[in-house]
Structure 1
């Protein structure tokens, strides 16, 4: 989760200080982080922490390369993984920070932001409560896909460089020996987590997307009512539920028997104030 926290901090600070020296400095650092290959950064980290500066007070606590089980030594597990964590997060912090900054700047120019400012709401509340929340849609989408890919073995280079036993290193060893059954198993394993991540992202959208937190038209029991939502997935489970009850091409409802309750707009989930 380091890259999520780092991306949020970088994106919010850069978006709030648009055009200033802080904004330019953060964007330059983000671009450097995105441009650095993970395997090269890992090798440099190993060179400094395992060889050159290992005897100094700065990195004397770093254990040898390899994985230490959490149940065996929790503190040793943390020390063995903290350097790989930061190495892997460097790329994503820069990428997520740049995406969040662009989305935040775009959202801060919308009409609802000007309305919030006209009502006398403080700039910090406008930025964090209104601007940031609506800007998290792209952020959450990227996080869901990247997290699913990493859990499924996307951290292959990091695991190989630091000697960590994981799905990525298992895939690397299978590729070296052309172990086709193992390669197929790891690909299916990774695909499962990518699909599950997409599912979780669609559910989370109901709570963070203002357009998806309230159904524009609910319970279309009458055949004369037509649902206007473009995507049931992004509108939440209420959209999926209503889409199953839309009139078919023959003019009849897809549900065999429904009670004649008048169609009425109502929220699917509690609305954000």
Structure 2
């Protein structure tokens, strides 16, 4: 059955990249790029819901999930390098044309890939993945901006708090009207992987580098204007990290962008997975090139 999910590993530039894959190899491809602090695990229910019509490929970023986790001394953890590795991953698998589903950290990784290779990206689904200053809550982002601008023990301390079990749980439950829809397996799974020796240092490096993504927002927006790529925003409207203004902002550069604000939080798939799957299926069915 095409809906069956395969769990595979590819060696890319000497690094083992774990990925989930399902669907007909000849079907249109949807590349799924996860956010922080999770992995391709966040797509575990979405993949079988879409696999009858699409080929789904969901890698774990280096340092996340079941992919390799070289130390910060052995790999320079920047979003530019993760984007290059993701691009090399798609080339390793022979993915020459694909739609992208991006969330959180997966968004700037995907935007960087798309700006470098616009001819490869057929459509974009963004789920709480920003490309605009709109929707960036200043209270949430101030510690990350401070750490990226002036890294020091004093600015690092608040960012370390994002690695706690309570902070991860909050990312999953904040803004969700019915928290009983969100399995505690999610935040415990993520927390266990974050606690591996050396992973906190990886996450701090990426947090420090995040300001480089914000600096590139004008370039990402120019990509949208130039490419007119079809875009669907299926967005948790109660997200305190990337608010709903970040979703509606896409219409400034992509007037035909389809925006759906859902009554949930940052990890919208946990409570609204079936609805998002229907939105994605309908969008890709209409907007992918024939």
Structure number with higher strand proportion? 2
TM-score over 0.5 for the pair: no
Q: Which has the higher contact order (CA 8 A, sep 6+)?
A: 2
Q: TM-score range by the shorter chain?
A: under 0.3
Scaled by the length of structure 1, what TM-score is found? 0.20
For the pair shown, the structure with the greater C-alpha radius of gyration is 1
